[in-house]
């Protein structure tokens, strides 16, 4: 199709075929990259959301365990939670494996541990499996796990504040100081009357204003989106 279109516009056949092959290979690479990276991006996003919900879920599980509620019923109650939808989905899969597929709770927890993208949630499930197998105190285990998760949450919050402070400095330098320096430099160049690399000062100012600065802003937003998760 690309070759036909380029031929209609008067392009030589050889160049049309080369162009068509280039477009086909480029499209194939883009599709492959999308299929390869999109699942990883979705899994990373889901992992962050699970880690965000985990302190509240661990506290909830500790309270349920203190009331001597068995693990299966515990996860059945968690799957109805609207405040922690990601872990509710994980709990739904555990309950499904037990009640529909006929697995015991240990097998269901191990399966979910292998499926879940969150290493923190995996550790909680692994510890819960070990406690149930050994006949240990589930309530004590969940209380200790909740303390560890809360400590990790506090450390993560502190690191996030430090990261945001670093991003604030990058934002000021990249999108406030840099444009001012460029404008001053171009103003001096305009007074001198020289361009750069054959381009006029006006062309370079338009290039920086409408391409470089917006791209820098988009880069900062993408980096922020990579470390932040919707509450």
Tens of pLDDT, residue by residue over 215-228, are: 888 887 777 776 76
More confidently predicted of 198 and 89: 89
pLDDT at 12: 60
pLDDT at 1: 55
Mean pLDDT of 150-162: 84
Mean pLDDT of 188-209: 70
Query: Is the dihedral angle over the CA atoms 198, 200, 204, 206 positive or is it negative?
Result: negative
Q: With 50 as the cut, is the pLDDT of residue 195 above it?
A: yes
CB 77 within 8 A of CB 87: no
Whole-angstrom Cα distance, residue 85 to residue 231?
11
Indicate the burial class of 194 (C-beta count within 10 angstroms; 0-12, 13-18, 19 or more): exposed
Whole-angstrom Cα distance, residue 188 to residue 193?
9
CB 105 within 8 A of CB 72: yes
Three-state DSSP at 199 gives strand
pLDDT tens digits, 126-147: 999 999 888 888 888 888 888 8
pLDDT at 231: 46
Domains of the chain by residue range: 2-43, 50-156, 160-227
Token pair of 164 as six digits: 């945001």
pLDDT tens digits, 25-77: 877 787 877 777 777 777 888 888 888 888 888 888 888 888 888 888 898 88
Q: 8-12, 83-87, 176-180: which has the highest mean pLDDT?
A: 83-87
């Amino acid at each position: 199709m690309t070759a036909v279109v380029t031929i209609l516009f008067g392009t030589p056949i050889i160049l049309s075929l080369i162009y068509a092959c280039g477009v086909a290979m480029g499209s194939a690479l883009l599709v492959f990259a999308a299929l390869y990276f999109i699942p990883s991006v979705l899994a990373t996003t889901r992992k962050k959301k699970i880690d965000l919900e985990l302190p509240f879920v661990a506290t909830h599980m500790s309270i349920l365990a203190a009331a001597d509620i068995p693990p299966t019923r515990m996860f059945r109650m968690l799957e109805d939670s609207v405040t922690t939808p990601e872990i509710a989905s994980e709990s739904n899969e555990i309950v499904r494996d037990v009640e529909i597929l006929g697995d015991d709770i240990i097998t269901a927890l191990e399966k979910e541990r292998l499926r879940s993208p969150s290493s923190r949630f995996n550790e909680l499930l692994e510890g819960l499996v070990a406690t149930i197998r050994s006949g240990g105190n589930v309530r004590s285990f969940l209380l200790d796990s909740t303390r560890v998760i809360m400590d990790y949450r506090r450390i993560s919050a502190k690191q996030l504040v430090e990261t945001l402070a670093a991003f604030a400095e990058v934002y000021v330098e990249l999108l406030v100081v840099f444009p001012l320096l460029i404008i001053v430099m171009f103003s001096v160049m305009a007074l001198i009357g020289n361009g750069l690399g054959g381009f006029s000062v006006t062309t370079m100012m338009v290039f920086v204003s409408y391409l470089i600065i917006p791209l820098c802003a988009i880069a900062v937003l993408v980096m922020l989106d990579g470390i932040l998760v919707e509450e």
